[in-house]
Amino acid sequence: MRRILIATSNAGKLRDFAGAAAPHGIEIEAIPGFASLPAVVEDGLTFEENARKKAEEYSRHAAGEIVVADDSGLEVDALNGAPGVHSARYAAPDLFDVQPHLADENTDDDANNARVLRELRNVPPERRTGRFVCVLAAARDGQTLATFRGTAEGVILDAPRGMGGFGYDPLFYFPQIQKTFAELSAEEKARYSHRGAAFRAFLEWCEQLS
């Protein structure tokens, strides 16, 4: 079984990747000792810039291995594409006054969701469109080998729904199957999600390497 290392400690992302990779006979693992590695500053202006930066830097800690990093987030049309690349730390401005050290740190899912809901409070359902975006970068020994992009179009609800997933999944309603991403099984999420779409493109690329 081929092994691919993922540059994340996010258990939700690892589950998403593992679910998409299993049918292809690929084992997904976090980079050994990932939690002890220096954090890469995600200061890119696009998902691709951040994904490439992380993949290149973390691949230097796993000689000869293909390392995959992703940057992903939610783009809401009524918010001019926000949260975008700031999706994981969207609530930071809300906390800055009382905890200044959190200004550039990731913030918890509930706080991020609360800010999106607050900003969309008076937006009618037909204007609550948006998409999840995921860009994967595959690198080896500090060099990007390829990048892959996936999207999923949906509608932002006015209240969370579902107990699964992570991030903005409980707010993201996917009309095609009439569920939020927090209501999807691992198999459904691999089939319909932005991360699943990007990872399938990556898997096709992997098969060409064989």
For the annotated catalytic residues, the residue numbers are: 71
Burial state string for 153-190 with b = 16 or more CB within 10 A and e = fewer than 16: ebbbbeebbbebbebbbbbbbbeeeebbbbbbeeebbb
| Angle at alpha carbon of residue 60, lines to 4 and 37, rounded to 5° | 90
Residue 83 DSSP code: B
Q: What angle do CA 27, 28, 29 make, to 5 degrees?
A: 120
- What distance, in Å, lies between the first and last C-alpha atoms of the chain? 12
Distance CA 28, CA 5 (A): 6
Neighbours of 209 (CB within 10 A): 10
CA dist., res. 9 & res. 108, Å (int): 15
Handedness of CA 49, 55, 61, 65 (dihedral sign): negative
